[in-house]
């Protein structure tokens, strides 16, 4: 039975409760929905009966975000949140017609993933040993393992000592959608990890009870934010002065594997991509690199006169 008295605010509160308690979404995800839907409520000229909201009202909100020069990805996230709210209301018969069905997402600019060259990644991996900004052995192992495995930063942060098999050659990680997969570590990464674990044992001794592989200098699990901070120090002005995000290691891993002849489906499995089209973005990087190299080397490529 339709409820004509439900406001946008009331519907939002109920929807957010549903996301957290019934759908079991993370606190971070629910907060993201809350922020977008709060924007939606604040931008509406009237935040009364939700049955009175039209597709044109939603379009005006999107237009306002565009005037504020919000990124296309942010606008699409906003649209997704609004769509989900109205789908929930339609399912529960709070509205008879879903106005959000008429709303289309905005076109995203095509951007190739940011990756490092071989020389850049080698320099960054060597940086902790060159200049001890934080913790030499830990940070070397961290960078080597990110590059060697192609793991997401969240997967490395969640990696425990119990996840390894065959010594330190491989480990099982839980990726997006709570899907488990095997990842592998090259010899340099294994060597760096063993040096770090020996150093960690010497630092904390019997007090070291943490099962997470990477810990902070107090001996507790290193967070995703902590890993990002470490990388920002070594890739900032104190280090290579060529800032990169932790995800750049993953992009570099994929690019290097494909450039050296790895099958795209194998790389898809190693990265934990649900769709092969996501993995194929990295073949575009290789094509672009070839074009740039051609233009630089060919007599009529146009680079010599610049």
Catalytic center residues? 152, 176, 247, 250, 273, 282
Distance CA 215, CA 134 (A): 12
Distance CA 71, CA 67 (A): 11
Helix H, strand E, coil C: the string for the chain is CCCCCCEHHHHHHHHHHHHHHCCCCCHHHHHHHHHHHHHHHHHCCCCCEHHHCCHHHHHHHHHHHHHCCCCHHHHHHHHHHHHHHHHHHHHCCCCCCCHHHHCCCCCCCCCCCCCCCHHHHHHHHHHHHHCCCCCHHHHHHHHHHHHHHCCCHHHHHHCEHHHEECCCCEEEEECHHHCEEEEECCHHHHHHHHHHHHHHHHHHHHHCCCCECCECCCCCECCHHHHHHHHHHHHCCCCCCCCCCCHHHHHHHHHHHHHCCCCHHHHHHHHCCCCHHHHCHHHHHHHHHHHHHHHHHCCCCCCCCC
């Amino acid at each position: 039975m339709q409820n004509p008295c439900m406001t946008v605010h009331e519907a939002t509160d109920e929807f957010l409760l549903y996301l957290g308690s019934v759908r079991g979404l993370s606190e971070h995800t629910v907060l993201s929905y809350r922020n977008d839907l709060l924007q939606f409520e604040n931008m509406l000229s009237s935040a009364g009966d939700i049955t009175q909201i039209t597709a044109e009202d939603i379009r005006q909100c999107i237009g306002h975000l565009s005037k504020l020069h919000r990124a296309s990805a942010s606008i699409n996230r906003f649209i997704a949140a609004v769509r989900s709210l109205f789908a929930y209301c339609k399912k529960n018969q709070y509205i008879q017609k879903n106005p959000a069905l008429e709303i289309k997402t905005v076109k995203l600019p095509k951007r190739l993933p940011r990756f490092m060259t071989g020389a850049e990644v080698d320099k960054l991996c060597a940086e902790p040993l060159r200049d001890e900004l934080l913790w030499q052995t830990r940070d070397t192992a961290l960078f080597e393992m990110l590059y060697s495995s192609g793991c997401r930063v969240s997967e490395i942060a969640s990696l425990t000592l119990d996840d390894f098999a065959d010594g330190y050659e491989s480990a099982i990680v839980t990726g997006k959608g709570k899907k488990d997969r095997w990842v592998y570590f090259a010899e340099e990464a294994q060597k760096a990890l063993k040096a770090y674990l020996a150093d960690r044992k010497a630092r904390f001794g019997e007090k070291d009870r943490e099962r997470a592989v990477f810990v902070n200098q107090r001996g507790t699990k290193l967070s995703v934010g902590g890993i990002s901070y470490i990388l920002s120090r070594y890739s900032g002005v104190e280090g290579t002065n060529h800032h990169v995000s932790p995800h750049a290691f993953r992009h570099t891993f994929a690019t290097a594997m494909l450039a050296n002849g790895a099958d795209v489906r194998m790389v898809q499995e190693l990265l934990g991509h649900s769709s092969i089209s996501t993995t194929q973005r990295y073949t575009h990087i290789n094509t672009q690199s070839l074009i740039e190299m051609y233009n630089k080397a060919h007599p009529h490529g146009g680079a010599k006169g610049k």
